[in-house]
Amino acid sequence: MEFFAGVGLIREGLSNSNWKCILANDISSDKKETYVENFGDNDFWLGDIWDIVENPNIIPNDAFLYTASFPCTDLSVAGNQAGLAGKQSGTLNALIEILNDKKKLNAAPKVVLLENVKGFLTSNKGKDIEKTIQSFSELDYFIDIIELDAINFSAQSRPRVFLIAIQEDLAEHTMRIKNSDQVLDSWWSDFNRVPTLRSNKIKNLILNNEGFNWGLLNLAFPEKSSLRLADIIDNDISDDSDLWWNEERKEHLYEQMSEPHKLDLHKMLQGTSYSYGTVYRRMRKGRSMAELRTDGFAGCLRTPKGGSSKQIVIRAGENKWSVRLLTPREYARLQGVRESFKLPSNSNKGYFAMGDAVCVPVIEYIAENILDKIYENYRKKL
């Protein structure tokens, strides 16, 4: 069951491990169109998740896994910081109510996977994540939280938090359960074994809430991808394409750069072949600044709610440079999406489709290293 399905990139990432979606839900009709284009219309329910709370029979009772990439609007640094009290991110509360209803019917999923921005760990001074963990503990799930950055899987920096909740009877066979009564327990040694997956924020969250149901999954850090920005750039765009900015627009962008970023651009210009960098416009001390990144990675993709949120690409070398927006297809490549994935014909809808989606190779890692193994253990218990 795929909540907040968007255009289906969690489904896309799970499909290589033969996971089957029995129902998908999202409120956006635009995203439904793209979802249906790629996966068919047999299992998409368009509507507000709160309507499902009122009509829980919409959801089949035999789903093994719920996934929920719930809105980050109220949790993101770029958002309004309302946390789970916000209208959009607060829709996570609807999922909790659905889980409560399903538990009463003995039909709750064995596993729940949540995905969101790193602000989920700190919103409302950490109270939001604490409330979430408490709710899952009261539902008899055991919880592990990991942090994964798409930069290890693609050419995009996109740090995200993943919460994996497993029902108690299955958690005992798939997780290292934390026992707060055992002072000398080696649980923390396992926790610290791969520190890049679980930061001190997660450690402090556990230390401050040891009464909740905590478990550890046995994970190895993913092997880093060799993909870089140059690998995803569309080289078929001709030099006389209207996508490239005119001189006036280029110079305006240049004037928005700080001196260190201008220097980075001049270094690119000195190259004997083209190299690529990306630019985001950000407000710094009340002024719009153009920040250039030249390490071979794009910044975190966002939805185009303003001109500053669309990511710009610079191509420079041989003492010349060109500027344009990244295309929706290049966005898709940064999200690890296959070339045959159908994008909206409208560019703005394409940016929305990819800007708030998940990175497919990250989900493939979670499927292979977590979800597949949990299901295998479940099958052995039958």
Q: What's the pLDDT tens digit per position in 142-188?
A: 999 999 999 999 999 999 999 999 999 999 999 999 987 765 678 99
d(CA 12, CA 30): 18
Region of residue 213 (phi > 0: left; psi between -120 and 50: alpha; otherwise: beta): beta
Question: Do 134 and 216 share a structural domain?
Answer: yes
d(CA 48, CA 51): 5
Question: Do 90 and 164 share a structural domain?
Answer: yes
Question: Do 377 and 261 share a structural domain?
Answer: no
Residues in the chain, how many?
A: 382
Rg (CA), the chain: 22
Would you say 42 and 77 are in contact if contact means Cβ atoms under 8 Å apart? no
Question: Do 186 and 252 share a structural domain?
Answer: no
Q: Show which of 326, 342, 371 is a domain's final residue.
A: 326
pLDDT in tens, 206-226: 999 999 999 999 999 999 999
Average pLDDT over residues 117-136: 93
pLDDT in tens, 289-339: 999 999 999 999 998 875 558 999 999 999 999 999 999 999 999 999 999
Listed residue (378, 360, 373) closest to 16, CA to CA? 360
Q: Has this prediction a pTM greater than 0.85?
A: yes
pLDDT in tens, 85-108: 554 557 899 999 999 999 999 999
Would you say 91 and 82 are in contact if contact means Cβ atoms under 8 Å apart? no
Question: Do 205 and 61 share a structural domain?
Answer: yes
Question: Do 140 and 252 share a structural domain?
Answer: no
Question: Do 255 and 112 share a structural domain?
Answer: no
pLDDT at 87: 47
Question: Do 239 and 218 share a structural domain?
Answer: no
d(CA 56, CA 109): 14
d(CA 193, CA 191): 6
Question: Do 315 and 251 share a structural domain?
Answer: yes
Q: The domain containing residue 290 runs over which residues?
A: 235-326
Task: Name the DSSP letter for residue 369.
Answer: I
DSSP string, 70-137: ---TTTSTTS---GGGSTTGGGHHHHHHHHHHHHHTT---SEEEEEE-GGGGTGGGGHHHHHHHHHHH
Helix (H) or strand (E) holding 288: strand 287-293
Q: Report yes or no on 339 lying in a domain.
A: no
Q: Report yes or no on 342 lying in a domain.
A: no
**Integer angstrom CA distances of residue 202 from 118, 162, 257, 371:** 11, 11, 36, 21
DSSP string, 269-284: HT-SS-EEEEEEEEEE
Q: Report yes or no on 157 lying in a domain.
A: yes
Structurally, the chain folds into a number of domains equal to 2
